[in-house]
């Protein structure tokens, strides 16, 4: 199986239907789609580098540390500040849904620009 969690690098496909496990960072641009846990996809943009992924088994409500963009560790629990790509602080509103995670609800509170949304403000 493709290791999506537990610190494994992001297995991804760049325009193909088959996952390709990259040993390094995953290019996040050129309109490519990155499979994100169980077939979910994430719109690419701004050429940000995403070395790790999320998984359906990630305990969002348990303050688990999730390796994120550029190797940053993101504590996911009860509105704790999350260091995002390029040092940006991208908190989500409480109960906001993640568009790249099958609409899963994340108990977080933040607000800033989102790289993959072309600097659009998170609602």
* pTM attached to this predicted model: 0.13
Contact between 32 and 19 under an 8 Å Cβ cutoff? The reply is no
For 123, counting Cβ atoms within 10 Å of its Cβ (0-12 exposed, 13-18 middle, 19+ buried), the class is exposed
What's the pLDDT score for residue 29? 29
List the structure tokens of 23: 């040993």
| Domain definitions of the chain by residue range | 11-121
Convert the pLDDT of each residue in 1-24 to its tens digit. 333 322 333 333 333 333 333 333
Give the mean pLDDT of 38-56: 32
H or E element: which one contains 121? strand 120-121
CA distance 120 to 62: 28
Q: How far apart are CA 26 and CA 4, in angstroms?
A: 13
pLDDT per position as a tens digit, 51-66: 333 332 333 333 233 3
């Amino acid at each position: 199986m493709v290791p999506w969690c537990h610190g494994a690098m992001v297995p991804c496909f760049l325009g193909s239907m088959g996952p390709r496990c990259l040993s390094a960072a995953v290019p996040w641009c050129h309109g490519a789609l990155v499979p994100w846990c169980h077939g979910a996809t994430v719109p690419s943009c701004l050429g940000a580098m995403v070395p790790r992924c999320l998984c359906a088994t990630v305990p969002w409500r348990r303050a688990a540390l999730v390796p994120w963009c550029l190797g940053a560790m993101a504590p996911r629990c009860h509105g704790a500040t999350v260091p995002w790509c390029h040092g940006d602080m991208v908190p989500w509103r409480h109960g906001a849904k993640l568009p790249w995670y099958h609409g899963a609800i994340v108990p977080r509170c933040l607000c800033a620009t989102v790289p993959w949304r072309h600097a659009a403000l998170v609602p």
